[in-house]
Amino acid sequence: MLDVFFLSYNEPFADEHFELLKIKAPHANRVHGIKGIFNAHKECAKQSMTTHFYVVDADAIIESEFNFDYTPSPDINWFEGKNYAIKQTQCLHVWRSKNPINGLVYGNGGVKLFPKKAVMKADDWRVDFTTSVAVRAFKAMPQISNVNAFNTDPFNTWKSAFRECTKLSSKIIEKQKDDDTEQRLKIWCTVGKEQPYGKYCILGANHGKEYGEKFKDDIDKLNKINDFEWLKWKFTNS
């Protein structure tokens, strides 16, 4: 059984979501209050006693059908090239999640499975850590793992939308497909106003779209989306 880590900072309902997670994964550990997404994942890798570890965000409400029983096999190739092969064990696995505001279903906010060695070796902070950490490949898993219940209050709703749409509009995510990106960005920026905190989601999405387009070639500016204190300032002054 692989380690499971629950990452939290100051999210509302994090305690409740952690208790729900432990129903599905009683062995789950919580990593709380570490500043910076990169540093938090590093701490998970340090604590992990298994070759791979699952990461569950504090906003996640795990689906009843999802179980933490998948273990990648060193004997199965995920991809085979002419002169090389990428094994399951070398991949970052990301499951899909449901967006409660606009209905999108894809990897944003989903459960992730990291190879411990790759995270331990990572030494640089990138805008989208989960798709650019030093692994051989990114493997999108078809099953829905959770609801990404980020719409808990104005700030956290705005923050999640702002971060994701900055990444989408700047096209910083490695190997993203432009057609999918543009469609998702449009939905983030227009759909779900009638849902709880929906107007803050659309506001944050449009702010993120503008920010990502403006600073698409400025990695330092883009990296600010991983600083939650800066995000609080940005929300207050937007």
- Same-domain pairing of 136 and 159: no
Residue 126's pLDDT is what?
Answer: 61
The residues, any chain, with a CB within 8 Å of residue 41's CB and separated by 6 or more, are: 7, 55, 114, 119, 129, 133
The residues, any chain, with a CB within 8 Å of residue 25's CB and separated by 6 or more, are: 4, 54, 68
Residue 83's pLDDT is what?
Answer: 75
Pairing of strands 85-87, 29-32: unpaired
- Same-domain pairing of 158 and 208: yes
Per-residue pLDDT of the chain (238 residues; tens, 9 = 90+): 999 999 999 899 999 999 999 999 999 999 999 988 888 999 999 999 999 999 999 999 999 999 999 999 999 888 777 777 888 998 999 999 999 999 999 999 999 999 999 899 887 656 566 655 655 578 899 999 999 999 999 999 999 999 999 999 998 876 667 789 999 999 999 999 999 999 999 999 999 999 999 999 999 999 999 888 999 999 999 8
- Same-domain pairing of 77 and 51: yes
Q: Residue 225 is part of which domain span?
A: 154-236
- Same-domain pairing of 32 and 121: yes
The residues, any chain, with a CB within 8 Å of residue 218's CB and separated by 6 or more, are: none
- Same-domain pairing of 131 and 176: no
- Same-domain pairing of 142 and 228: no
- Same-domain pairing of 105 and 194: no
Tokens of 193: 């106003």
- Same-domain pairing of 137 and 208: no
- Same-domain pairing of 105 and 120: yes
Question: Which of 148, 165, 199 delimits the end of a domain?
Answer: 148
How far apart, in whole angstroms, are the C-alpha atoms of residue 117 and residue 60?
25
Question: Which of 115, 148, 181 delimits the end of a domain?
Answer: 148
Count of domains in the chain?
Answer: 2
How far apart, in whole angstroms, are the C-alpha atoms of residue 54 and residue 71?
10
Residue 132's pLDDT is what?
Answer: 56
How far apart, in whole angstroms, are the C-alpha atoms of residue 181 and residue 164?
11
- Same-domain pairing of 43 and 82: yes
Domain with residue 29: its CATH number is 3.90.550
The residues, any chain, with a CB within 8 Å of residue 83's CB and separated by 6 or more, are: none
Question: Which of 99, 118, 148 delimits the end of a domain?
Answer: 148
* CB neighbour burial string for 105-130, b if at least 16 within 10 angstroms, e if fewer: ebbbbbbbbbbbebbeebeeebbbbb
- Same-domain pairing of 139 and 189: no
Which helix (H) or strand (E) segment holds residue 56: the answer is strand 52-57
Please list the residues that pair with 6 across neighbouring strands: 30, 56
Residue 82's pLDDT is what?
Answer: 72
Instruction: Kindly report the pTM of this predicted structure.
Output: 0.91
- Same-domain pairing of 126 and 195: no
Its sign, for the CA torsion 145, 158, 36, 8, is negative
State the number of CA atoms in the 13 A half-sphere of 100 facing the CB.
16
How far apart, in whole angstroms, are the C-alpha atoms of residue 223 and residue 38?
11
Residue 157's pLDDT is what?
Answer: 98
